[in-house]
């Protein structure tokens, strides 16, 4: 499959986080999780030091791994990622000590400096994390790294996820073949306010740390910050990208260059793909919801409206029941804080079964409830909103709200 974006071809390929040259990965069960069939420790290694950028949760309660990672990559470089699932290492008296020890153990296993390690943890908050199973398993984890290890690593970072999330693309920068790949975890505690999940992205593009940071922060505003599953912003999560330059392209140093624009398009293809996977795999979800806002006065208005719609619990419940309750869309827009003219808003629902207009100029129109239900019974639903105020657009992703969400979170810890 190829995605044509203006004059550039971006091709989806296999390989995930190992698709880019010079990256290996692995994932094993080390004993943090009781279920031995669940991998719980992941490792990603670049063969050479890589330019690195990351964004972190805005929650004031932050996991110790984020604090350590932020310190480690302050110089803009990293070589390895170590991540465990099953325990968040958050709100623990010895959390920083454990996170730093994980970096030291990883550095010894892959022959790098501890300060060049990104460390992450995900799982239950407030339970002490023992470093012993990690220390015992790291030699095996490092021995197992391979160019085909993306899937194992992606599995090892999962918590309540039901599907493995990985993607990779191939593209050209000034005639040089380049690749970007990534893995993600995210199912619950997903809400706009970067970051809301764990995402690790690798690329063999040569780009400065400064521009990589610009690219990532510029991208997340319209991708990962536009997802909501349940309205809860996690304490632990981050998005990190490593660029090792192995593709051999001329170093990208200018944000106004054509080469940087191509890189941004390719990065966005990866991040949007992961956004859709995360939203569609929301805890207990049966449907992916995509709200596309057009006709906004500016991008802030468009983002605000789109986010508010996908965050509406009432709308999410209606989508679960395939109920074309469009009034809940207008309700969410009305309390979003966006300065919209309600009398200009149009709303339609669309899926593989077709499209149906349900609201025109802020008022209901006659439509077939049977046709609407058929459209809303599909697994992927688009909520199309035109606010009639300009030319700006934005997209947000979410999921339906089901009985299973409460079941999953009612006994998450026990």
The secondary structure of residue 251, as a DSSP letter, is: P
Chain CA centroid to CA 320, Å: 23
Burial degree of 113 (CB within 10 A; 0-12, 13-18, 19+) = middle
Name the β-bridge partners of 43. 26, 82
Catalytic, out of 52, 90, 196, 202: 196
Chain CA centroid to CA 402, Å: 22
- How many Cβ atoms sit within 10 Å of the Cβ of residue 410? 9
CB 46 within 8 A of CB 79: yes
The reply to whether 395 belongs to the active site is no
Residue in 165, 234, 159, 240 with CA at minimum distance from that of residue 193: 234
State the DSSP string of 300-364. Answer: HHHHHHHHHHHH-HHHHHHHHTT---THHHHHHHHTS-----GGG-EEEEEETTEEEEEEETTEE
- Say how many residues make up the chain: 414
- Three-state SS for 23? strand
Q: Which residues are catalytic?
A: 196
């Amino acid at each position: 499959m190829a995605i044509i974006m203006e004059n550039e071809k971006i091709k989806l390929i296999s390989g995930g986080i190992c698709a880019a040259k010079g990256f290996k990965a692995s994932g094993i069960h080390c004993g943090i999780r009781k279920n031995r069939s669940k991998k719980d420790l992941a490792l990603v290694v670049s063969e050479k030091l890589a330019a690195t950028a990351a964004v972190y949760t805005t929650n004031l309660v932050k996991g110790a791994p984020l604090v350590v990672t932020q310190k480690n990559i302050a110089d803009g470089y990293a070589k390895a990622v170590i991540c465990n699932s099953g325990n968040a290492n958050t709100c623990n008296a010895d959390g920083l000590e454990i996170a730093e020890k994980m970096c030291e153990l990883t550095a010894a296993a892959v022959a790098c400096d501890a300060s060049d390690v990104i460390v992450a943890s995900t799982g239950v908050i407030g339970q002490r994390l023992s470093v012993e199973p990690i220390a015992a398993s790291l030699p095996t984890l490092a021995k197992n790294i391979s160019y085909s290890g993306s899937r194992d690593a992606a599995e090892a970072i999962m918590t309540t996820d039901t599907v493995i999330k990985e993607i990779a693309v191939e593209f050209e920068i000034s005639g040089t073949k380049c690749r970007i790949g990534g893995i993600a975890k995210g199912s619950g505690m997903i809400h706009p306010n970067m970051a809301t999940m764990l995402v690790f992205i690798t690329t063999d593009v040569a780009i400065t740390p400064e521009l990589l940071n610009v690219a990532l922060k510029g991208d997340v505003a319209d991708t990962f910050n536009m997802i909501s599953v349940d309205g809860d912003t996690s304490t632990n999560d981050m998005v990190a990208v490593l660029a090792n330059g192995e593709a051999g392209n001329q170093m990208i140093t200018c944000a106004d260059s054509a080469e940087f624009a191509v890189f941004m398009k390719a990065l966005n293809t990866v991040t949007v793909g992961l956004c859709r996977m995360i939203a569609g795999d929301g805890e207990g979800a049966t449907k992916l919801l995509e709200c596309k806002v057009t006709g906004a006065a500016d991008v802030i208005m468009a983002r605000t409206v789109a986010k508010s719609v996908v965050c509406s619990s009432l709308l999410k419940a209606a989508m679960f029941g395939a109920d074309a309750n469009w009034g809940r869309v207008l309700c969410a827009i009305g309390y979003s804080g966006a300065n919209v003219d309600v009398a200009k808003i149009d709303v339609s629902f669309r899926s593989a079964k077709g499209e149906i207009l349900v609201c025109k100029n802020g008022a209901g129109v006659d439509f077939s409830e049977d046709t609407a239900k058929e459209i809303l019974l599909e697994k992927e639903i688009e909520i199309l909103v035109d606010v009639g105020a300009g030319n700006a657009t934005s997209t947000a992703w979410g999921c339906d709200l089901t009985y299973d969400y409460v079941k999953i979170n009612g006994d998450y810890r026990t």
